[in-house]
Amino acid sequence: MAIKRVNQYFGFDCDLVIDVRSPGEYNHAHLPGSKNLPLFSDDERAVVGTLYKQHSKEDAIKAGLSFFGPKMQEMIHRVETWIHEKYKLSPDEKCVAGQYTLLVHCWRGGMRSGGVAWLLDLYGFNVYVLDGGYKAFRNWVLAAFERPWPLHVLGGNTGTGKTKVLHELARRGKPVIDLEGLACHKGSAFGNIGMPEQPSQEMFENLLAVELHKREGQTIWIEDESIRIGHVNLPKNFWVLMGRSKHFLLDIPFAKRLEYTVEEYGKLPVEKMVNAIIRIKKRLGGLETKNAINALVEGQTAESFEILLKYYDKWYGKAVDEKDLTENNKIRVYCEDTDAKKNADKLMADII
């Protein structure tokens, strides 16, 4: 078979992207939206790799074939199942392989992807292999963070409802990337409570690069963040670019922000909130930590959050000052309250 190859992932029109690397490789990080159809399990991959290094290529291939053979029928079945799910085919509706295009890849576009591509092509699917594999994709990802993307950064103290304003802008057709959504973390010491498990650093970068390319040629709205969001970091060059970009700072009265924060976080489990407060004890100070925890435990949520909000205001103010933004790059947007629709209206009417 002459394997058809394509040197791009983003923008390639196909029905499924299939990652044939081992589950461990895939779970660590993968092409967004891809499906895992592992040629080898993690243990099998280790066996093949050891044979290749310590014996010969031929021995490794023989072992690989012994693992691959019994899986062939099930692999075909899984691809058909994914097609049925994606296009909502009825259970008795036949998946006509020739009607669907698949993009297959492994680590470097070598034997693993070649073997699975051969099988799927033999069955009748229209199959392409990603030239250079996942390694080439990662190079594409890292190159994305060297580019001078045009950004609008939405800032403001804690409790201004920045994320909801961004979502409202997105609903109105503005190009928006929700960094906290990609990171599965809301950015503060309390940001992981009630959130899904965070992606790996590599996976976070993959997701961000794809979202940036989706908005090619547009000025992208993002939320002001520190370089670290939970346990993932924004790529350094991209974070520096954010710091130099135009900032729109929502300025909302403290009382309204406190009300919003209590509504957003007040229903979270008290034990997890206490643990989060303890994590910032060093910067919050012993007395304020004690007062915030006592108020929270005694059901005085607003009193506890008032202490925390003042703490976050202090640190956010320092962070904005350190960026040394010019007057043209620091625009304050005065809002009466935290109503996302009204504040999006104000951004669009006064600035955009």
Structure tokens at 310: 């003042």
CB atoms within 10 A of CB 61: 16
Question: Measured at the alpha carbon of residue 222, what is the angle toward residues 219 and 223, in degrees to the nearest 5?
Answer: 150
Strands 232-233 and 228-229: antiparallel
Distance CA 154, CA 249 (A): 6
The number of CA neighbours under 13 Å toward the Cβ of 87 is 17
106 is catalytic: yes
Is residue 37 within 8 Å of 75, Cβ to Cβ?
yes
Is residue 40 within 8 Å of 58, Cβ to Cβ?
no
Catalytic residue among 95, 106, 184, 335: 106
Contacts of 168 by beta carbon, 8 Å cutoff, 6+ apart: 340, 341, 343, 344
What residues are paired with 156 via a beta bridge? 250
* Helix extents (H) in the chain: 23-28, 42-54, 57-68, 72-87, 111-123, 133-144, 162-171, 179-183, 201-214, 236-244, 254-265, 270-279, 281-284, 286-297, 301-322, 340-350
Structure tokens at 63: 């072992």
Q: Strands of 151-156's sheet, edge to edge? A: 220-223, 151-156, 246-251, 330-334
The residues assigned a catalytic role are 106
